[in-house]
Structure 1
Amino acid sequence: MGERKVLNKYYRPDFDPSSKLPRIRRSNNRQIQTKARMICSNCSAELVIKTDPQNSDYVVESGATRNFDPWRTAEVEEEEDKEKNAEELAMKNRKETANLAALD
């Protein structure tokens, strides 16, 4: 089977790579915004998403909704931490009052 595997491609003598392959010129700054055009596999609707390299994120332009926001999870964790600290403080106060009542 190894003899059937082709490792090289044949290029005709009249092949001109400059006319066939487009050259992409980019600036030295790699922070370039690009648009990604996709199609839904279920309904064939077009989804357009734009990258946001400054924030290492993306922005939905049309055809989709965002179901996960990393900054929202951070806010939820902060709120949970505040609630947990308040509960711990309340439990500590209850124990102290119980100890004071037992000493009397």
Structure 2
Amino acid sequence: ARDRRSEGWTMAPAAKTPRRGYSTDETEEIYNALMFLANEFEEDNAPLQAVRCYEALCLKDLTLLPVPEARARVRLASLLLQYTDNVHRAKQHLETCMLLLKNVHG
């Protein structure tokens, strides 16, 4: 068996061991990139890809501030209601938004 790493191949990380502990800068870059992509997908009428971007922002390994996470969840819920019959899932995202924003003062 040849070692593909020496040929420039890289192996994908195991799905059961997600990376934890992103720095604040990394989290902000990930958020900005995924929000940009989601917006582009929405403008290009590709809602499934936009949903995937918003769902990636809602993962537990990415710790966002409450307002940015809520913003992503509202957009996600909106797309789910507009393009799917999954009202329950959209409602869950909106309820999570309410919990996230409950203690935000502004």
Q: TM-score range by the shorter chain?
A: under 0.3
**TM-score w.r.t. structure 2 length?**
0.24
Higher relative contact order, chain-length normalized (CA < 8 Å, sep 6+): 2
> Which structure has the bigger radius of gyration?
1
The answer to which structure has the higher strand fraction is: 1
**TM-score w.r.t. structure 1 length?**
0.25
The answer to which structure has the higher helix fraction is: 2
